[in-house]
Amino acid sequence: MRRLIPFLLALPLLVGCGNRNLILTVDILSFVDPSMRSEAYGPIPSGFPNDTIEVFSDSLNLLQGVGDVTRVASASLDVAASFDNTSGAATGDFLIYFAAADSADPFTTTPIADIPFQLLAGQITNVSTHVDASPALAEVLTHDRAKVGLRVIFNGTAFPIQGTETLTKLTATVILKKDL
Amino acid sequence: MMRAVFLATLIACSGLGAATAGAQTLDARRLGMGGVLTSDVGDHQGSNIAFRAVPKGAAGSGSIPLPLGLIQYLSDHPTYDSKDSLFNVFEIANVFLNPPLTIQIVKPNVVEGDISVFVAQDSLRVDLADVKNVIPKNSMKQGGVYHIGGIGKSFGRAFFQVGPLIHLRNELTLSDELRKALRDAVPFTGNTRYGLTDEGRAQAAISFQAGYALRVLHQPSEGEKDSNDPRRNGVTALYVGGAPKYLIGIAYGSAESSGGVTTGDTLFAGSNPVTIDELTETRTSGVGGHGGLGTGFGSDVGAVFYFRNFELGLGLNDFGSQIKWKTTVRRHVYDDATNAFTTIQVAQDEEFTSRIPVTTTINVAKRIGRTTIAADVVDGDLRTMMHAGAEFWFGMIALRSGIYRDQNQMMQFTGGGGYRFGKIGLDLAIATNSRNIERERGAELSASLSLY
């Protein structure tokens, strides 16, 4: 169904022929299965100071059909997540990946965003970031399809580390210009 | 959904034509008087056949437009190169809606501004910015009855003329849900049908018309000694005219369509989230196809009454005009399951009678010395327009002002002046109008020569 989204964009594009921008805001998170938005981590015992979980990897076709008549002028991304850390402590990185659809694995590319965090036992930690004017994101969104992936890297300082990570926001804002 | 969006795109594009152009008055004298029509102002298209029998007065017998706007257009026109960053289809549309024959003093704001789209799995909101103004609040109506060119000859009170007659009509109506989504940026919702209906009709014919206009009532007045102009000599007189016409139909076509998309429980879920429905019924006939030529009759009738320099006119053009055709009827149905249209021929050589809609013109005028105060109502197929204006002469100089309600139901204001050089006069008029796709008020300067 996600392939259908971009065709709606043809409407303002065709109607809006002129020296104007099309500002497309896509709530990517809403297209992610709710069961995939949360990921339990741990327990990570001592002896494993570094651990990685991959929250999800999915394929999105957000600009299909639009690329023929538009070019991406800029792209930005808003990401937010929540860690309900029940035990242990750690620092870490919350990584967002976007890759071309023909890539086998989005995690092989350079992350679009790298959000550092610090977790303490029994605390909920919220993290967020705004990735502005990302050329890499714009490059990916120029294509018809893209893959997105989320990865969390823990650097434990107190063990066992255990909790739940929940992705709370993943919104892409793309500014398109016509290219008729 | 791709098809659905394509359909929606077509709907939106159809909106480009929503702002019907209406008549552009190139007679600056008439325009200065609010576009009003009387027996001696602006009746160059024969809106009342009885006017033919009324003696020409001193107020002019014709006009020659001066298309000064072409100079402005040549020096400053929109780009037609779609790759140019300044390319704007709305500016081009305005060229057609408002031909550059008059000088644009105040141009409407260019449709521009960023367009915003918000998409989530169960949410879609499209904010078209000022493009929303292109989508009308009500149905989009376009068309009219056009008597284009033709040749004729008068024999005293009688006349004969031959000319083409074209009738076009299209009415596109968006469902409330679709209109709100496009015009008011109301979010699309689930389990909702976003639909439209369109009714289009076009017919062309050759009109062979013979007519006669005469005075049927006359009570002399003292003023007739000085002038035979019933507009100003205080006479009581009634003039009537009638002109039956024989119509040879060249082609007829009509299409009535209804279509829409119905969303599912969730806007963007599953492989086929919307259901598309579309039904079109067409009726055609014409030269070179089944049915061939059509034949019909019609008439123009009119009357104008004068009493103490007061004028009351009633003109009915294409009164009772109709053409009989042998038509082919087809029904085109879209099947959402197979993503294909099915065409069924419902009838062939089916007799069908089309109408040419009547245009009714009612005008009133009062002359007081050299001053004229006038008003009219013109009721056509798609719209009713009203005009009112006045003309004041001071020696060789004329001052004019007027108002009118235009095709977009907006009040417009006009004013102007003129100077008479013997048998020729130069007239200028400044008038507001909304002949643009944005339906915003603009202003134009018109110039023409009057023939006295």
Instruction: Provide the residue ranges of all domains of chain B, joining segments of one domain with +.
Output: 2-451
**pLDDT the model gives residue B303:** 96
Q: How far is the C-alpha of B441 from the C-alpha of B445, rounded, in Å?
A: 14
CA distance A167 to chain B (A): 16
CB contact under 8 A, B5 and A20: no
**pLDDT the model gives residue B194:** 94
Instruction: Find, in chain B, the residue whose alpha carbon is nearest to that of A22.
Output: B115
Q: Which of B202, B17, B15, B26 is nearest to B99 (CA)?
A: B26
CB B401 within 8 A of CB B379: no
**pLDDT the model gives residue B325:** 96
**pLDDT the model gives residue A4:** 41
Q: Which of B88, B111, B119, B178 to mutate to test the interface with A (most CBs of A within 10 A)?
A: B119
Q: How far is the C-alpha of B21 from the C-alpha of B146, rounded, in Å?
A: 14
CA distance A109 to chain B (A): 26
Query: What burial class does residue B228 get, using C-beta atoms within 10 Å of its C-beta: 0-12 exposed, 13-18 middle, 19+ buried?
Result: middle
The residues on A that touch B, with CB distances below 8 Å, are: 1-2, 4-5, 7-12, 14-27, 30-31, 65, 180
**E-only strand ranges, B20-122:** 62-66, 103-106, 115-120
**pLDDT the model gives residue A15:** 44
Residue recorded with tokens 């643009």? B436
Average pLDDT over residues A62-88: 77
Q: What are phi and psi of B22, to 5 degrees?
A: 70, 180
Amino acid at B28: A
Q: What is the DSSP string of B215-248?
A: EEEEE--GGGGT---TTTS--EEEEEEEEEEEEE
CB contact under 8 A, B124 and A8: yes
ipTM reported for the complex surpasses 0.85: no
Q: Which of A4, A22, A31 sits opposite B115 (nearest CB)?
A: A22
Instruction: Find, in chain A, the residue whose alpha carbon is nearest to that of B86.
Output: A19
Cα–Cα distances in angstroms (integers) from residue B431 to residues B106, B413, B445, in the given order: 10, 6, 7
CA distance A6 to chain B (A): 8
Q: Which is more confident, B179 or A143?
A: B179
Q: How far is the C-alpha of B24 from the C-alpha of A58, rounded, in Å?
A: 58
Q: Which is more confident, B420 or A11?
A: B420
CB contact under 8 A, B114 and A15: no
Find chain A residues with C-beta within 8 A of B114's C-beta: 20-23
Q: How many CB pairs under 8 A join A and B?
A: 114
CB contact under 8 A, A30 and B122: yes
Q: Which of B3, B5, B182 to mutate to test the interface with A (most CBs of A within 10 A)?
A: B5
- The helix (run of H) or strand (run of E) holding residue B387 is strand B384-394
CB contact under 8 A, A18 and B83: no
Q: How far is the C-alpha of A101 from the C-alpha of B358, rounded, in Å?
A: 62
Q: How far is the C-alpha of A162 from the C-alpha of B105, rounded, in Å?
A: 73
Q: Which of B86, B118, B123 sits opposite A19 (nearest CB)?
A: B86
Instruction: Find, in chain A, the residue whose alpha carbon is nearest to that of B135.
Output: A15
Q: Which of B9, B85, B271 sits opposite A1 (nearest CB)?
A: B271
Cα–Cα distances in angstroms (integers) from residue A38 to residues A52, A81, A83, B59, in the given order: 15, 9, 10, 85
- Does the pLDDT value for residue A134 go beyond 70? yes
Which of the four pLDDT bands, split at 50, 70 and 90, describes residue A56? low
Q: How far is the C-alpha of B67 from the C-alpha of B69, rounded, in Å?
A: 5
**What architecture does CATH give domain A2-178?**
Sandwich (2.60)
CA distance A116 to chain B (A): 27
Whole-structure pTM value: 0.76
Residues of chain B where predicted confidence (pLDDT) is lower than 70: 1-23, 43-45, 59, 270-272
CB contact under 8 A, B114 and A23: yes
CB B213 within 8 A of CB B157: yes
CB contact under 8 A, A9 and B268: no
**Size of chain B in residues:** 452
- Does the pLDDT value for residue A17 go beyond 80? no
Q: Which of A11, A26, A30 sits opposite B12 (nearest CB)?
A: A11
**pLDDT the model gives residue B76:** 86
Q: Which two tokens stand for residue B158?
A: 């009688």
- Name all contacts of B269-275 with Cβ < 8 Å and 24+ positions apart: B269/A1, B269/B121, B269/B122, B270/A1, B271/A1, B272/B1, B273/A1, B273/A4, B273/B1, B274/B1, B274/B4, B275/B336
What percent of chain B clears pLDDT 90, i.e. is strictly above it?
Answer: 55
CA distance B336 to chain A (A): 16
CB contact under 8 A, B128 and A26: no
CB contact under 8 A, B268 and A14: no
Amino acid at A157: T
CB contact under 8 A, A19 and B88: yes
Q: Which two tokens stand for residue B359?
A: 């245009």
**pLDDT the model gives residue B11:** 36
Q: Which of A1, A18, A24 sits opposite B117 (nearest CB)?
A: A24
Instruction: Find, in chain B, the residue whose alpha carbon is nearest to that of A18.
Output: B88
What percent of chain A clears pLDDT 70, i.e. is strictly above it?
Answer: 75
